[in-house]
């Protein structure tokens, strides 16, 4: 797959985090990690319309760059372009694990073992997402990983690890250093804790501003 097309698809899905339902988002990321862009191109634009999700001009351009070459319906892509692409996030985040964890967290242990000192990986952070109420049953783990290369494949790999550990709709955000992230990721990063670090120097990080 062409690197620019892969990067456009990855950036698009990154921007849709918190807006596209988790059950759809992880599936599209899994497909991208496997190189199945044709499936994404055929289905994602229609999913956006069905979910009532508008995209902004930047996201529209990413769809044209990443999905149009693989057969995306141009009418569906154009129809998704709207004025509500940058709605405020309905989520809040916390760096503290919910009380039900009781200081036992095998997922963190596995992620630490898999990514600590790994080449091309920087900081590995974790946040807990709430649906606006802060109630424990709604707590969802969100991993935030800085990586230099192979972002879609790393994300898909970690999604499969989390699913094997019981998270059916894993939240794995793999972000290139110095990326421009939106409100969703800024809030998650600002309210996160460091799990471990790969081999990439600390200066290569996403700044939560």
Segments making up each domain of the chain, as ranges: 3-80, 92-197
Average pLDDT over every residue of 41-63: 94
Q: What angle do CA 8, 169, 196 make, to 5 degrees?
A: 75
Number of C-beta neighbours around residue 73 at 10 A: 15
Phi first, then psi: what are they for 80, rounded to 5°? Answer: -75, -20
| Tokens, residue 42 | 């055929």
In this prediction, residue 158 has a pLDDT band, given cuts at 50, 70 and 90, of: very high
Q: What pLDDT sits at residue 5?
A: 93
In which residue are the tokens 């809040």 written? 92
- Given a cut of 70, whether residue 75 has pLDDT beyond it is yes
Environment class of 105 (CB within 10 Å of its CB; exposed 0-12, middle 13-18, buried 19+): middle
Q: In angstroms, what is the C-alpha Rg of the chain?
A: 17
Asked whether residue 128 carries a pLDDT value surpassing 80, the answer given is yes
* pLDDT score recorded for residue 207: 45
Q: What is the DSSP letter of 209?
A: -
Can you tell me the distance from the alpha carbon of 25 to that of 18, in angstroms, rounded to the nearest whole number?
A: 9
Say what the pLDDT of residue 136 is: 47
Predicted confidence (pLDDT) at residue 208 exceeds the cutoff of 90: no
Q: Where are the alpha helices (DSSP H) in 2-147?
A: 3-15, 22-33, 37-51, 57-66, 74-80, 106-115
DSSP state letters, 111-150: HHHHHTT-TTEEEEEEEEEESSS--GGG-EEEEEEEESS-
**In which band, very low, low, confident or very high, does the pLDDT at 201 lie, cut at 50, 70 and 90?**
confident
User: Residue 194 pLDDT > 90, yes or no?
Assistant: yes
Q: Is the pLDDT of residue 53 over 70?
A: yes
**Most confident range, picked from 58-72, 88-102, 193-207:** 58-72
- What is the overall mean pLDDT for the chain? 89
Q: Express each pLDDT in 12-28 by its tens digit.
A: 999 999 999 999 999 99
pLDDT reported for residue 99: 78
| 194 vs 3: which has the higher pLDDT | 194
Confidence at residue 83, expressed as pLDDT on a 0 to 100 scale: 57
CATH of 92-197, one of 3.30.70, 2.170.120, 1.10.287, 3.30.300: 3.30.300
- Comparing CA positions, the residue from 144, 142, 147 lying closest to residue 177 is 147
Residue 115 pLDDT class (50, 70, 90 cuts): very high
Burial of 175 (0-12, 13-18, 19+ CB in 10 A): buried
Residue 89 burial (CB count, 10 A): 19
Calpha distance 179→170 (Å, rounded): 22
| Distance, CA of 136 to chain centre | 22
Q: Which residues contact 100 (CB under 8 A, 6 or more apart)?
A: 136, 139
**Confidence band (pLDDT; 50, 70, 90) for 2?**
confident
Q: What's the rounded mean pLDDT across residues 171-177?
A: 95
Tell me the mean pLDDT in the region 136-143.
Answer: 82
Give residue 205's pLDDT: 53
Q: How many CB atoms lie within 10 A of CB 68?
A: 16
């Amino acid at each position: 797959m062409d690197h620019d097309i892969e990067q456009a698809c990855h950036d698009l899905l990154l921007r849709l985090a918190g807006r596209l339902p988790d059950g759809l988002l992880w599936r599209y990321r899994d497909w991208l990690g496997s190189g199945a862009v044709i499936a994404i191109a055929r289905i994602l634009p229609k999913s956006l319309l069905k979910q009532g999700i508008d995209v902004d001009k930047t996201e529209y351009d990413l769809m044209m760059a990443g999905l149009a070459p693989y057969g995306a319906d141009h009418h569906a892509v154009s129809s998704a372009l709207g004025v509500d692409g940058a709605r405020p996030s309905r989520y809040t985040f916390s760096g503290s694990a919910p009380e039900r964890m009781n200081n036992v967290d095998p997922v963190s242990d596995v992620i630490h073992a898999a990514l600590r000192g790994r080449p091309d990986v920087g900081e590995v952070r974790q946040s807990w997402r709430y649906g606006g109420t802060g109630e424990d049953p709604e707590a969802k783990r969100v991993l935030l990983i800085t990586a230099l290369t192979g972002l879609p494949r790393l994300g898909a790999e970690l999604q499969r690890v989390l699913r094997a550990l019981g998270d059916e709709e894993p939240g794995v955000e793999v972000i290139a250093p110095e990326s421009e992230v939106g409100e969703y990721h800024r809030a998650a990063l600002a309210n996160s804790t460091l799990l471990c670090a790969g081999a990439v120097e600390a200066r290569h990080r996403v700044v939560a501003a």
